[in-house]
Structure 1
Amino acid sequence: MTKYRFGIRLCFAVILGAVLAAPAAMAQDEEASPKPGKPIQAGEVLSGELNALRIRDAKKGKRVATYQLTSEPRRLPPPNGLCDLETGPETFQLVPANDAQVAQLRPLVGKEISVKIDEVACAQEAGQMSEAVVTKWSVVTKH
């Protein structure tokens, strides 16, 4: 019932598949693992695009003004380190301390800004939508 050519075709297909799959397997091995970002210390400047987040307070249910800065990956100072990420956090949640800081950030949403970091930690609570949380900060320059 089977033809002699069927075996030749099957053998050809297996060899062809092995030849085409070998370079892809080697490329995956050669691919470099992502390198951690530059370390960031208190007093350094972090630049990136500012986004507004819609978060409600867990206790009162009121809307809380919160902003997110998307930047290049950065390592945090010990003991936080990489925040259980391979390259360090890329999104930083800016928590305004007062209404003046909210008024300062509101017109900058969607723009590139620079922020001087005074206190930063890894996100650990359920309501935090970023990888790291910046609790003390100040806007340095507007681009």
Structure 2
Amino acid sequence: MDDYPLLNLFWTMLLIFCWVLWFFLLFRIIGDLFRDHSLGGWAKAGWIIVLIFLPFLGVLVYVIARGKGMAERDQKQAKDVDAAFKQYVRDAAADGSGGTAASGHPAAGSPVDQLAKLADLRSNGHLTEEEYQKAKTKILA
């Protein structure tokens, strides 16, 4: 351990941390490039070439030049995911097909509504006759 002083160990750890951070930024930038629909294919290819041949400078220039748009796209994606999740929860809670909602309680809707939905599913070919009869007996029970 005398060959490698403690300060060199800290310096090595700092360099490894910076290297990992750079890779993190590089992959975030590449993901942002493909998510951005305002850039054309040639512009995306140009940024990828810059990132490959001038990696540190390319990452720095991209973050400076397009960092604000990158943050806006991240926020928009987070809002879209949140809205999709909330819509899924609403749809699952309002599902009247005889199953249970997200809360674990029986789905809303009268047995007549549930039977009508089952008949529609059967007529559209989504349910076999056997599945229809099983679901029907469950609703009527």
Short-chain TM bin: under 0.3
Higher helix share: 2
TM-score (norm 2): 0.27
Structure number, greater radius of gyration: 2
Higher relative CO (CA 8 A, sep ≥ 6), structure 1 or 2? 1
- TM-score normalised over the length of structure 1: 0.27
Between structures 1 and 2, the one with greater strand share: 1
